[in-house]
Structure 1
Amino acid sequence: MIYLKTDDEIELMRESNLLVGMTLGEIAKWIIPGITTLKLDKIAEEFIRDHNAIPGFLGYGGFPNSLCISVNEQVVHGIPSNYELREGDVVSVDCGVIKNGFNGDSAYTFCVGDVTDEIRRLLKTTKESLYLGIEQAVEGKRIGDISHTIQMYCEHKGYSVVRELCGHGIGKRLHEDPEVPNYGRRGCGPLLKKGMCIAIEPMINLGSRNIIVERDGWTTRTRDRKPSAHFEHTVAIREEKADILSSFQFVEEVLGDKSI
């Protein structure tokens, strides 16, 4: 069932999602060679709780941490650990919070120090595809319009689109209907209506689209072990233009001219 949110509920969701953006901005300050992904997780959990919210991922379906941190060939759902980030790594940080009874959800893929031009192009394309998909997220269009736009843009650039994982509706629950794939046909899928809130999250691979799930039951990586990128925003459907509830502003203020 798809739940339509009132304007008041959307404003509560904006609070949750802006806190996610602020948390990602705080994490951006710490992403340097030598820091462990578990340390980043602890920083995020403390930051979220200090802002009168709770981590949305911690304990969700049994997930053991507050952030999903996925490095290099890991696509999503990486479990924070004692792995120390290295120069040239790329790391997707996916963050969720619950505040005022509503979920926020957003993700950003960071460069650790200097990365190759090939990888920067992957990240840039993935981020661009997110915003192109968001342009389709208006009342009267369909989920497939978002999906098709993301797929065509990334495949035209020579990348592959992960198909087993997708975006989702969001609200009082982290994952609600409808699913939001990153591939599909224009004009197909559920009709977009004012008040729908969805998380759009392209997961794009440098090599093959094939993925596997590691033995921990969470960490998902590319089968060919080539890098993957992941960017995510939560948006509310409006009549003329999508309302982006999350924000990369806090990340980009930290990164400055090093932003993707």
Structure 2
Amino acid sequence: MPDTTAESDNPHAGHAMPGSASDESIPQSGPPPEALSGPAHAADTVFAPGTMAEAREQLRREQGGANFTLVSIDRLEAQIAEGEDGYLWEANAWYGGDIDKLWIKSEGEGEFGGTLEEAEIQALWSHAIDPWFDFQAGIRYDIRPEPDRAHAVLGIQGLAPYFFEVDAAAFLSDEGDLTARIEAEYDQRITQRLILQPRVEIGLSAQDIPELGIGAGVTGLEAGLRLRYEIVQQFAPYIGVEWQRQFGDTADFTRAAGGDSDRFVFLAGAKFWF
């Protein structure tokens, strides 16, 4: 009798292997032309095309084409320094979709019991240039310090490698003054609720602007640490410390006005969004 042990023990016995003669019946060149000869949307052959067009548009809006809104107060804080206590805010709001958004940004600061020292508002069109960064363009208006000024704005904002959040912008004022600002921050989670955030901000100017107390070059540096606790995802109080340093003529202007060009401040504030 013939020996069939080898065949019965082989799990691939009777199976056609790629490249074998019995593999010739398997299609090798994709779908046949007939598969592409029907309507673009097969459901149109069953339901009214107008009804299906409305359904597809609703799906597009809900699954990628929808517009959303976010309002966030990234910094609302008291700054405690020797002989000079103040407050600061940084707020953002946007409306739009994945590609295009309208951004409104505002920030300012002042002394407790004193006048508002600085305040600005920006209105920007934001366009995604890749999955990580947006190009932004628009206008900025300074309410303080006087004199009030308007600026054209060009910048980028997004998430750099290793999850550093970056916001860099150049400003050209209606007086022809060119300045720039670069901000970077990083959220380091210690626990699911406790987060340490290093933050750096650098200011630059292409020329002296004596009426605003700004000198040419690197005008100032703010480097700090904020430790926040997310009571809920939308609300997190924080404490921190920050080193604030001005350079060159900017520091000279500040000292001439009786200010401190090099100081450490303690911070207490809150971050929230809705």
- Common topology (TM > 0.5): no
Which protein has the larger Cα radius of gyration, Structure 1 or Structure 2?
2
TM-score when normalising by structure 1: 0.25
Higher relative contact order (CA 8 A, sep 6+): 1
TM-score when normalising by structure 2: 0.24
Q: Which structure has more helix as a fraction of its residues?
A: 1
